[in-house]
Amino acid sequence: MPDMAQHTEGLIDHACLIVHGPDKPGIVAAVTQLIARHGGNIVSLDQYSDDPSNGAFFQRVVFTQPELPVVMPELEADLATTLEKLGLKWTLTDLSVPKRMAILASTSDHCLLDLLWRHRRGQLPVTIPMVISNHTNTAEDVRSFGVPFFHVPAAGPDKSAAEEEIVKLLDGNVDFIVLARYMQILSDDFLQRVGVPVINIHHSFLPAFIGAAPYRKAKERGVKLIGATSHYVTQDLDEGPIIEQDVVRVTHADTAADLQQRGADVERAVLSRAVQWHAENRVIRNGNHTIVF
Amino acid sequence: MPDMAQHTEGLIDHACLIVHGPDKPGIVAAVTQLIARHGGNIVSLDQYSDDPSNGAFFQRVVFTQPELPVVMPELEADLATTLEKLGLKWTLTDLSVPKRMAILASTSDHCLLDLLWRHRRGQLPVTIPMVISNHTNTAEDVRSFGVPFFHVPAAGPDKSAAEEEIVKLLDGNVDFIVLARYMQILSDDFLQRVGVPVINIHHSFLPAFIGAAPYRKAKERGVKLIGATSHYVTQDLDEGPIIEQDVVRVTHADTAADLQQRGADVERAVLSRAVQWHAENRVIRNGNHTIVF
Amino acid sequence: MPDMAQHTEGLIDHACLIVHGPDKPGIVAAVTQLIARHGGNIVSLDQYSDDPSNGAFFQRVVFTQPELPVVMPELEADLATTLEKLGLKWTLTDLSVPKRMAILASTSDHCLLDLLWRHRRGQLPVTIPMVISNHTNTAEDVRSFGVPFFHVPAAGPDKSAAEEEIVKLLDGNVDFIVLARYMQILSDDFLQRVGVPVINIHHSFLPAFIGAAPYRKAKERGVKLIGATSHYVTQDLDEGPIIEQDVVRVTHADTAADLQQRGADVERAVLSRAVQWHAENRVIRNGNHTIVF
Amino acid sequence: MPDMAQHTEGLIDHACLIVHGPDKPGIVAAVTQLIARHGGNIVSLDQYSDDPSNGAFFQRVVFTQPELPVVMPELEADLATTLEKLGLKWTLTDLSVPKRMAILASTSDHCLLDLLWRHRRGQLPVTIPMVISNHTNTAEDVRSFGVPFFHVPAAGPDKSAAEEEIVKLLDGNVDFIVLARYMQILSDDFLQRVGVPVINIHHSFLPAFIGAAPYRKAKERGVKLIGATSHYVTQDLDEGPIIEQDVVRVTHADTAADLQQRGADVERAVLSRAVQWHAENRVIRNGNHTIVF
C-alpha cells in the first residue's frame, strides 16, 4: 500500500499525546515541560476546558521526538508518573504507525468506495486489512483496490452466527471499525467483544428522522435541508457521540429519490471526514459528545 | 413609509396568479391563453406537479396587465369560469398592493429588528400596521421605525384575555402575522379567530430538539450544526408546514451561550427569507409541506 | 450499461423543449398550446426573461408525448412554423436517448472516477463511449467500469498531432466533452473541429486565481474559502460561461496540500453537478453566462 | 453602556497573551511555565507553526490571573526577559478592558446598524466612542444607540481637509477603526497618522471583482455565488490581509439589485465576525495574511 506509506512516512518520529481529566492549574505547563525534558518539539497543541473552574480538561499535543520508537517506553513511564498524579488519563500514539481500519458494508457502495479511493490517494492514515459485507456485489470493486473482501451473510432473524464469524475475522486485526452503510443492527454483545471504536454514518441530521425510511419522512415533512451524521456506535442505536454532521439544501421539486441521491453525497463526505479525524487522533469522547481538535 | 412604496411602485399593473389542484393535461395552456386573451404579458412562471399522472399541480404566474385595477373583475370572472371547470383553486393578487404584516414579539429583539430594518430598506413588500409585545423593552426601538407598538401583557396561566385583546387589535387590519420569537403559546381558538396565516421561527432545525431549551439540548448532544426553521403555525405546535431552514457550523468549544448567539443569527436570516417569500406570494401550502417558487 | 438504461427508461416518451430569443407577449401560451394540440402533457416548465420589456426570453419545458419517436417529425415541423415566426430559436430532445459524453483526463483521478461512479450508479443520464488521457495511470480503473480508454500522449510543444488524434476518436461519437482535470490547453482549431460543447472544471472560484498554482496563491493570500468553478470552454481560457460554483471553508492551519485536497472534493462535486445539469438539458448559454433551470 | 460591561464583566482577571516569532523547541513550555509561576491558570491555548523546522510560530493564550491589574507590570517584565531572549514578539492584554472602536460610514446603513445592534446586545467586547460619516442620513439612528455621531463631509477632489478632521477626532480616542461601507479612499498618510488597525469590508469575494460596480460585473459574468471579504486596510487598496470571507448562492434569476441585497446580508455577517475576532485578540497579522485563533 504505497499511498498509505506516503501519507505516514512524513510522520516518522511524530507522537500524539491525548490528555483528559479534571481541569486544574499547571497541566499545560507540566505536559509541555515533560516533552521538552525528553527533547521533543511541539508541532501543534490544542486544548479545551469545558469550565475553567472544576471542569473537564482535554488536550491534544503533536510533537516530534528524535528516535521515538526507542524513547517511547521511558516517555510513557514519565507520563504515567506525572499525569496520573494529576488525576489525568492519557494515550500516547506513534503517528507513523497507521491505524488498522475494517469496513463493514452492505449493498450500497457510495461510502465504501469513497473510503477506499481516499485511502489509495493517501488521504487517510490507515491500513485497511479487510472489508466485510453481508452481500457480494461490491467484492470485485473492493479487491481492485488490493483490499481483502469477506462475505458474511446475515440472513434470518438470528444474527449471532454471523456476528460470531465477523468477530473472528476482526479479532486482533483492527484498531477501529467503520460501518459504511452496513444495514444490520449490531448486538451489545458484539460491540463488547470487538472492543474497538465503531464509527457509523447515519443517513440524516440527528436527532431528526431516526429509524427507517428517513428520506421518505423528510420528503413528507417538506424539509428544506437534508443531512448526515457520523457518530460512534453505542448500545443506544443512533444515540452515540456525534463526530461530524453536514447538510445540503433541497427543494419541494426534489423527489424522495433525489433526496436519497443528494443524501448519499453528504453521507460519504461526512463519513470520510469523521474517519480521517478519528484516524488522526483528533476526536476525544466525553460522555455522549466529542471534542474534535 | 417611503421605502415600502419604493419597493412596490415598480409593481404597478403586476398581477400574481396562484393555481393549484389535480394535475391534468392543458392547465398551463389554459392559464397562459387566458392571460394572453386579456392582453397580459407573462413575467415569470413556475409550475410543479408532484406526480404527472394524477398528482397535484401548483403554478405561480406573474404577469403585467395594463390597467390591472380596472381589468381585475373581468379577469377574476374569466378565471372562475375557466379554472373551476378544471377543478382548480386559484388566487389573483395585485402585487402593487403590499400585504399588511403584524409582528408579535417578546423580549428578544433580533428577529423583530431585522424585519423592521429590512422593511425600512425596502426589502420587504409589506406594510407593518403594528407590533404587539407582551413586554415593553422594544417599544422605543419599534416606534423609532414609525411603527405603532402595543403592549399586551400575558401574565398568569389564563391567556384568554390577552388573546382577546390581540384579536381585537388585529381584526381586519392585517393579512398575515409573524411571531418574531413570541414566547407565548397561541390557542387553537386564537388561530381560528385571526383567520390569517401565522408564520413562526423555531429556534432549531426541525424536527430536532422540539420544546424547551433547544440550545442546551444541542450542546449536551454535541451537535456540530445549529439550525433554525420557519414554518406556518398550525394547531400542532412546531409541526406546521416548513417554509425555510438553515444551519451554521459550531464546535465543541462553543458554549450554550455561543450556540444561542449563532442561533439568533440563523433565526433572523431564516425568518426574513420566509417572510419575504410569503409576502411575494411564493409559498403555497399543501397538506403539511410547502411549495416555494 | 444497465444503470444508465435504468436512469432513462423512466423517460420514454418524455421530450424536452428549449426555447430562447426576444421576449414578447404570448410565447408561453403559443408553446403550451402547441404541446396540448399534439396531446402532450407538461411535466415541468421553467421560464425566465432577463427584462420583460424587450429582454431575452428562455424556456425549458418537459412534457410527455405518447409515441414520441413517431410524432417527433410533425412536432418539429409545427415548432419550426410557430416559433420561427416569433423569432425564437429552439431545440427538441427525446429525453430517453442519453447524451454521449467523452471524458478527457490527465493523471488526477478524482473528477474522472467520480463521474464514472455516478454514471454506474445511474445518476448521470449519459453513455460514456470513451475516456481519453495523455497519461496511462487511470487506464485500469477506467476499463473496470466497462468504459474504453484511449491513451493519446501530448509530449512536446506541438500539440497538433495529439489534437488530430483526439478529434478522430471523438468525431461523430460524442455529444459533449468533459475535461476532468485535463491539463492540456486546447487550441481554437480543436474546439471548432469537435463542434460539441466542452465542459471544464476550474480549480478555483473564478475570476479569482486564474492561471497556474492557484492553491499556492490562495494560501499566500490567506483566503478563508477555497472554491471551484465549472464552465463551458471558449477561446478565452477560463473565461467561458459559468455553469456551477461552490466553496469550502479553510483556515490558516491548512497547508497548500490540504487546500488542494479540500479543493479536489469541491471540484468533483461542482463538476458532477454541471455535467448532470448539462446532460438533462437544464443549461442554456446566453452570451458569456448561463441560465440553469 | 451596560451591555458592553455585561460582556466584559465576566472577564475580570482574564489576560490574553499573543506570542509570535521564529519557531524553536520549548516555546510553549517556557510560556506556560511563566504563567504558572505567577499563579495563572490557562483557560484556552491555541498555537500554530507554519513550518515546524525554522517556520514562524504563533500562540494565543487566555489565562486567569488573580489581581491581574496589580500583577500586570511584573508579568510584563518577566515576559520581556523570557520571550525576547527567544527572539519572540508578544503583547499582553487585559480582557476586561474593552477595545475602543470607531466606525466610519457613508450612506449605506446595513453594516453600521448591525455593529451597533450587536454591541447593544453585548456581543462585541468594545466601546464605540464615535461614528463618523461623510453623510448625515444615519445620524439619528446612531444616536438612538447612545453613540456620538460626527459629520465630516468629503466633497471635492481634495480629501486632505476631511482626513485632517477625522484624524483629530480619532487621535488618542480609539484602538481600532472599522470602515462600515465607508466609500472614500483613505490616503497612506491618513493610515500612518491614525496608527491603529483599520478593518474594511469588501463587497465581493476577493481577489475577484476588485474595483467599482462589483455586483454588476458579477451579474454579467453569471456567477453562481456572491461573496464578501473583510480585511485589514493597507496601502494596497483591497489587498490587505484577509480576516474573514463568506458567500451565498445566487441564480441567473437574481437581478443585479438582488445580488446587492444578498450581498449586503453577507457583508454585515462577515464584517461582524471579523470585528468580533479582532476585538477578542484572535487575529494575528503575518505578512499579507492572518492567523485566526
Query: What number is the average pLDDT over the span D175-192?
Result: 95
Q: Identify the top-confidence range among A83-92, A198-207, A212-221.
A: A83-92
Over the range A72-94, which residues count as b (16 or more CB within 10 Å of their CB) and which as e?
eeebeeebeebbeebebebebbb
> Residue B6 — pLDDT band, cuts 50, 70, 90?
low
> Residue A247 — pLDDT band, cuts 50, 70, 90?
very high
Measure in Å the smallest separation between the Cα of D31 and chain C Cα atoms. Answer: 21
> Residue A6 — pLDDT band, cuts 50, 70, 90?
low
Determine the 3-state secondary structure of A40 from DSSP: coil
Measure in Å the smallest separation between the Cα of D113 and chain B Cα atoms. Answer: 9
Q: Is the pLDDT of residue C63 over 90?
A: yes
- Catalytic residue, candidates D238, D246, D258, D265: D238
pLDDT at D6: 53
Q: Contact B190/B182 with Cβ under 8 angstroms?
A: no
pLDDT at D7: 65
Question: What are the tens digits of pLDDT across the range D260-287?
Answer: 899 999 999 999 999 999 999 999 999 8
Distant-in-sequence, close-in-space partners of B85: CB < 8 Å, separation ≥ 6: none
Tell me which residue in D221, D241, D252 faces C222 most closely, judged by beta carbons. D241
Measure in Å the smallest separation between the Cα of B45 and chain C Cα atoms. Answer: 6
Query: Residue C223: closest CA among chain D residues belongs to which residue?
Result: D242
Beta-carbon separation of B221 and A251 below 8 A: no
Beta-carbon separation of A244 and B251 below 8 A: no
Beta-carbon separation of A289 and B247 below 8 A: no
Q: Identify residues of C whose CB sits under 8 angstroms from chain A CBs.
A: 44, 109-110, 113, 117, 121, 123, 140-141, 144, 253, 261, 265, 269
The DSSP-derived string for C134-170 is SSSTTHHHHHHTT--EEE----SS--HHHHHHHHHHH
Query: What number is the average pLDDT over the span D66-87?
Result: 95
Q: Contact D97/D44 with Cβ under 8 angstroms?
A: no
Q: Identify the top-confidence range among A25-39, B204-218, C219-233, D91-105.
A: D91-105
pLDDT at D220: 82
> Residue A68 — pLDDT band, cuts 50, 70, 90?
very high
Q: Is the pLDDT of residue A145 over 90?
A: yes
Determine the 3-state secondary structure of D67 from DSSP: coil
pLDDT at C257: 86
Neighbours of chain B (3+ CB pairs under 8 A): A, C, D
Q: Identify the top-confidence range among A68-77, A216-225, D154-163, D231-240.
A: A68-77
Question: What are the tens digits of pLDDT across the range B133-174?
Answer: 999 999 999 999 999 999 999 988 888 999 999 999 999 999
The interface pTM score, or ipTM, of the predicted complex is: 0.87
Helix or strand (DSSP H, E) at C246: strand C242-249
Mean pLDDT score of chain A: 92
Query: What number is the average pLDDT over the span C256-282?
Result: 94
Question: What are the tens digits of pLDDT across the range B204-224?
Answer: 776 777 777 877 888 888 889
Q: Which three cell numbers stand for residue B102?
A: 403584524
pLDDT at A217: 82
* Sheet with B56-64, side-by-side order of all strands: B89-94, B14-22, B56-64, B41-49, C41-49, C56-64, C14-22, C89-94
Burial zone of B287 (CB within 10 Å; 0-12 exposed, 13-18 middle, 19+ buried): exposed
* Share above pLDDT 90 across residues of chain D, in percent, rounded to a whole number: 74
The answer to which of C279-283, D36-40, D123-127 has the lowest mean pLDDT is D36-40
Rg (CA), chain C: 21
Mean pLDDT score of chain C: 92
Domains of chain A, with CATH numbers?
Answer: 14-94 (3.30.70.260), 99-292 (3.40.50.170)
DSSP H helical ranges for D96-255:
110-120, 139-144, 160-170, 188-194, 214-221
Beta-carbon separation of C28 and B28 below 8 A: yes
pLDDT at C155: 81
pLDDT at D212: 77
Query: Residue D37: closest CA among chain A residues belongs to which residue?
Result: A26
Q: Is the pLDDT of residue B28 over 60?
A: yes
The DSSP-derived string for B79-110 is HHHHHHHTT-EEEEEETTSPEEEEEEE-S--H
Distant-in-sequence, close-in-space partners of A79: CB < 8 Å, separation ≥ 6: A17, A34, A90, A92
Rounded Cα gap, residues B66 and B48, in angstroms: 28
Question: What are the tens digits of pLDDT across the range C8-43?
Answer: 778 999 999 999 999 888 898 899 999 999 999 888
Q: Is the pLDDT of residue C207 over 80?
A: no
List active site positions of A.
238
- B207 CB neighbours in chain A (<8 A) are 208-209, 221
pLDDT at A4: 45
Measure in Å the smallest separation between the Cα of A178 and chain B Cα atoms. Answer: 20
Tell me which residue in A24, A25, A47 faces D44 most closely, judged by beta carbons. A47
> Residue C217 — pLDDT band, cuts 50, 70, 90?
confident
Look up the pTM and report it: 0.92
- Taken in order D142, D147, D148, D154, the sign of the CA dihedral is negative
> Residue C206 — pLDDT band, cuts 50, 70, 90?
low
Mean pLDDT score of chain D: 92
Beta-carbon separation of C47 and B44 below 8 A: yes
pLDDT at C41: 87
> Residue B5 — pLDDT band, cuts 50, 70, 90?
very low
Question: What are the tens digits of pLDDT across the range A175-195?
Answer: 999 999 999 999 999 999 999
pLDDT at A1: 36
Question: What are the tens digits of pLDDT across the range D214-232?
Answer: 778 888 888 899 989 999 9
Determine the 3-state secondary structure of D151 from DSSP: strand
Beta-carbon separation of A121 and C110 below 8 A: yes
- C44 CB neighbours in chain A (<8 A) are 253
pLDDT at A194: 96
Query: Residue B14: closest CA among chain C residues belongs to which residue?
Result: C52
Question: What are the tens digits of pLDDT across the range A100-117?
Answer: 999 999 999 999 999 999
> Residue D50 — pLDDT band, cuts 50, 70, 90?
confident
> Residue C174 — pLDDT band, cuts 50, 70, 90?
very high
Tell me how crowded residue C58 is: count the other CB atoms within 10 A of its CB.
21
Determine the 3-state secondary structure of B35 from DSSP: helix
Q: Is the pLDDT of residue C2 over 60?
A: no
Beta-carbon separation of A289 and B221 below 8 A: yes
* Share above pLDDT 70 across residues of chain B, in percent, rounded to a whole number: 97
Helix or strand (DSSP H, E) at A287: none
